[in-house]
Structure 1
Amino acid sequence: MKTLMDVQELQDRMISGAQTILLDVRWALGDPRGHEHYREAHIPGAVYVDLETQLCAPGGPGLGRHPLPDADALQESARRWGIDDGDTVVAYDDSGNLAAARLWWLLRNAGFPSVRLLDGGLAAWRAAGLDTEGGEERHCVGTVHLTTGHMPAVSISDLVQPSTVDVVLDARAGERFRGEHEPIDPRAGHIPGAVSAPTSENLLPDGRFRSRDELRRRFRALGADRGRVAVYCGSGITAAHEIAALDVAGIEASLFPGSWSQWSTTDGLPVAVGA
């Protein structure tokens, strides 16, 4: 199953009329105006996906900020986006797919294999000189059937047992990993034994993913080519991007959905600081 689709392939599919559901997952931490940005300009035919309400369950004590939605809720949303069984879904955003990768992971986890990330997202579409449109796009309600449990995931109990996971990657920025700056969660630092692996380093300056060989070298240097790998971030959003990058590199990895927002608010769990 391919992870990425480039702009040329997407354009060819659109011209040929191949059944493609385009989903715009415009979201960034600290910017609540994703839907507004979508209405101003998006790839023609793309449907807006609200990450906070459609790709997450409500947060709460001991759950983290962005818990995974349950299977029924995700299926209901997917049908509203117009997805039928057998469609190809292409997700994108305007931040190097840091948000869209959450949708990619959720649909893969729900047993929907034909979902791809538009490499470079909206920026790549614009760089190719292609038109955007404004307003709101809606499709007829789809009939897709989704389940759950098709992608590996780990919990806190898995991470506190050394025999369960061999390598834990922290996808947050280095200063958050080291505990120098924590803008959101109550404790600064990282899960003891984790390795700093900022998601931003998966990308080229233009927002496209690095090549398979580059990513393989990166993750090999982090020790992620040996044993069982788990990934976390602040709340489980950008960790999915790291898993997509690992997938491009040919490495399977498990998501820790609660991530640091769950670990740091759970009593009795240790916290490490520094490099």
Structure 2
Amino acid sequence: MSNLITSSEAFARLGDPNVVFADVRFVLGELESGHEAYKLSHIPGAVFFDLNADLSGPKETHGGGHPLPHPDLFADKLGRASIDEHTEVIVYDDQGGSIASRLWWMLKHAGHERVKLLVGGFSGWLAEGYPVTDEASHSVLKRFVPRFDERWQASMADVKVGIGSEGRVLIDSRIPKRYTGEDATKYLKAGHIPGAINHYWENGSPDGRFLDANAQKERFRDIDTDREIIVYCGAGVTACPNVLALTEAGYTRVKLYVGSWSDWISYSENPIATGEE
């Protein structure tokens, strides 16, 4: 079953009480832009999720730039958004799926299977002429009970054990210059985790439109489908579209290293590589 949904398929679900549209627009460095965009215009009935306030917990010494929120707080947010185990969730953003995929992954990790990413995001929805509104959504309070599946998540210890292992693949989802260490502007240390290969996440959604399963399979044709894959980025967000893309392509052993590079470099003893692997 696909993790993607087209605008026409999603439009057919508008008004269904068992379907929730989740608007996850967010621009890194412009903290209020997503919510402001939501207030101006969104898919009718959509509820808003903020990357920092709803999909992340407080930063600490370790754990990365976007650690997971407390499970109870996340479950409460879902319940207040009319989401329970019977709800189908359609997530969208306007950033090529990079932010919405974080909610997709968090729901999968929490044991919720019925979640799909809107192909083309909000811009695609608009371009195809589907309705939008500035009216606030009216949610029905529900109770979401998470059943966390740790097969979706990798710890730093898992990553360290996997370095050099023939049975595991480590994917760095960042822009190539950050992977090689040429761009050292964002983090205190430059480079990548030793052994990682680079698959820039944005190659999976050129022009903001998420590629289908066959195209994603072609992107990752160098990786055997039976291998365990751990994916990371800078802070645990833009790795998520690669996790989704790999899952869509048929890979079944895919995990997210939530802390990602920002967590890895918070430990002085962790090794760093530069250049191409």
Supply the distance in 2 between the matched residues of 1:135 and 1:30 (Cα, whole angstroms). 26
Counterpart amino acid of residue 269 in structure 1: N
Match of 1:183 in 2: 185
1:85-131 C-alpha deviation (Å, 9 max, x unpaired): 31111110011111000100111111111111111110110111122
Supply the distance in 2 between the matched residues of 1:225 and 1:168 (Cα, whole angstroms). 14
Supply the distance in 2 between the matched residues of 1:203 and 1:224 (Cα, whole angstroms). 22
Match of 2:173 in 1: 171
Match of 1:204 in 2: 206
Any idea what SS the aligned residue of 1:241 has? Answer: helix
> In the alignment, does 2:38 pair up with 1:44?
no
Counterpart amino acid of residue 172 in structure 1: R
Query: How far did residue 147 of structure 1 move?
Result: 2.4
Equivalence map 1:126-205=2 (5 Å) = 126-162=126-162, 163=165, 166-205=168-207
% of aligned pairs identical?
35
Number of residue pairs matched by the alignment: 272
Match of 2:19 in 1: 20
Equivalence map 1:183-262=2 (5 Å) = 183-205=185-207, 207-221=208-222, 223=223, 225-252=225-252, 253-262=254-263
Stretches of structure 1 that go unaligned for 5 or more consecutive residues are: none
Give the structure-1-normalised TM-score: 0.94
Supply the distance in 2 between the matched residues of 1:31 and 1:88 (Cα, whole angstroms). 29
CA 1:214/1:101 → structure 2, altered by over 3 Å: closer, same or farther? Answer: same
Supply the distance in 1 between the matched residues of 2:90 and 2:83 (Cα, whole angstroms). 11
Counterpart amino acid of residue 20 in structure 2: I
Query: How far did residue 136 of structure 1 move?
Result: 2.9
Query: How far did residue 149 of structure 1 move?
Result: 2.4
Stretches of structure 2 that go unaligned for 5 or more consecutive residues are: none
Match of 2:107 in 1: 107
Supply the distance in 2 between the matched residues of 1:243 and 1:108 (Cα, whole angstroms). 11
Supply the distance in 2 between the matched residues of 1:6 and 1:93 (Cα, whole angstroms). 14
Provide runs of 4+ in structure 1 moved above 4 Å: none
Is contact 2:23–2:91 with CA below 8 Å preserved after alignment? yes
Supply the distance in 2 between the matched residues of 1:268 and 1:158 (Cα, whole angstroms). 16
Give the structure-2-normalised TM-score: 0.93
Equivalence map 1:40-119=2 (5 Å) = 40-119=40-119
Which stretch has the larger CA shift, 173-182 or 140-149?
A: 140-149
Query: How far did residue 165 of structure 1 move?
Result: 5.7
Is contact 1:199–1:239 with CA below 8 Å preserved after alignment? yes
Supply the distance in 2 between the matched residues of 1:133 and 1:224 (Cα, whole angstroms). 45
CA 1:80/1:18 → structure 2, altered by over 3 Å: closer, same or farther? Answer: closer
Supply the distance in 2 between the matched residues of 1:237 and 1:143 (Cα, whole angstroms). 26
